[in-house]
Amino acid sequence: MRAILLLIVLTGLNETTSAGITLTEVLANEPGRTSSLEWIEVYNSGPENLNLEDCVFMEDNSKSKFPEGSVIKPGQYAIFARRPLGGNPDEPSFEKQWGNGTGKWGDSPLEKYALYPLKMSLRNSSGRIAIACGGDIISSFSWNDDPGDGISFEKIYISNGDVLSNWMVSSAAAGSTPGGPPVHVSGSIRPDFPGASNVTNGAVNSITINPEIVFLQFESDIKINWILEDDSELNMLLYNLQGEVVKDFEEELKPGEEEICYNCTDDAGNLLSSGIYVLLGDITGGRDTIIKRQLIVINNPRH
């Protein structure tokens, strides 16, 4: 007999994706020697205009409000940039790098999408960001990899949500595709990209986490559900990036259809500190062995 399903879902008291807003591209490492050119791309999948002026951009442990009038039309992208326009012709800016360089926005076919300023300071090699509206986390992304100068991270499919495996390093010749969909290529996710799955013996990966960023000031716990047949065994461990086991779920795992609520504490009962953790779950027994490694990012304002 084989394991039927292992499903891990991250939920919180104030989590929602109903607004139609989603992060679709992030450029953290500016081109060449330029500075202050970080930006994020946001897409509106809803049927109406959406205004983010009452929303908050969360970056690691800092927050900043979206500017007044941050409207995104239905089915359209908007760019929120650290430096959208330059103060003089020689100053680097988003418009100079990705527009037509006139110092104005919207006077060229290259500049057909909305561009707004936003306070940010994205780190090249690692970071975590989110959009929160009214205390609800609308969309989030984290990275632990530097794709290179001027190369962005892009969401692959808007409908697949914020799971890390739904992001890839941009394959566009220019390194990014601001204001438009990503350029997909065969085998678009690199094997070493954060969130990549490891599956053995041809088994279908059945472990999912959505979202993968835990903001402890909003979420109360992680809900873990599974269905396990009697002759199969489930093992699940949570590691920090030093390879140390911080949580062993052994005593809580039972066959059948079960659910536990994990309160983001270690084996000693201490609340996890901010950082990146690896959840390792595997099902053994029967014909198949299923192994999945998944990143979880904890943002704890007190640690």
pLDDT digit string (tens) for 280-293? 777 666 545 555 56
Whether residues 116 and 156 fall in one domain: yes
Give me the phi and psi of 135, to 5 degrees please.
Answer: 85, -5
- Domain assignment of residue 27, yes or no: yes
For residues 60 and 128, state if they share a domain. Answer: yes
The three-point CA angle 123-165-18 to 5° equals 90
Let me know: does 288 contact 280? Beta carbons within 8 Å.
no
Q: Do 112 and 251 sit in the same domain of this protein?
A: no
Check residue 204 and give its pLDDT: 35
Same domain flag for 162 and 25: yes
Q: Could you give phi then psi for residue 225, rounded to 5 degrees?
A: -120, 145
Range of the domain at 213: 5-13+197-299
**CA gap 303, 296 in Å, rounded:** 16
In one-letter notation, the amino acid at residue 119 is K
Average pLDDT of the residues in 46-50: 88
Q: Is residue 178 part of a domain?
A: no
Does 240 share its domain with 279?
yes
Q: How far is CA 9 from CA 38, 108, 164, 254, 260, in A?
A: 31, 44, 14, 17, 11
Query: How many angstroms separate the CA atoms of 131 and 208, rounded?
Result: 21
Tally the domains of the chain.
Answer: 2
Q: What is residue 203's predicted lDDT score, i.e. its pLDDT?
A: 33
One domain, residues 9 and 44: no
Check whether residue 264 and residue 164 sit in a common domain. Answer: no
Three-class SS of residue 97? helix
Asked whether residue 281 is domain-assigned, the answer is yes
Note the pLDDT of residue 135: 81
Residue type present at position 258 = E
In a domain, 59, yes or no: yes
Do 128 and 52 reside in the same domain of the chain? yes
Query: Are residues 49 and 165 located together in one domain of the fold?
Result: yes
Picking from 122, 149, 169, the residue at the C-terminal end of a domain is 169
- pLDDT tens sequence across 132-171: 988 888 999 999 888 889 999 999 888 778 888 788 888 7
Q: Are residues 55 and 120 in the same domain?
A: yes
For 86-100, 181-195, 205-219, 228-242, which range has the lowest pLDDT when averaged over its residues?
Answer: 181-195
The CATH number given to whatever domain includes residue 283 is 2.60.40
- The radius of gyration of the chain's CA atoms, rounded to the nearest angstrom, is 21
Q: Is residue 39 part of a domain?
A: yes
99 and 205 share a domain? no
Residues 32 and 157 in one domain: yes
pLDDT of residue 7: 36
Does residue 179 lie in a domain region?
A: no
- Note whether residue 154 is domain-resident: yes
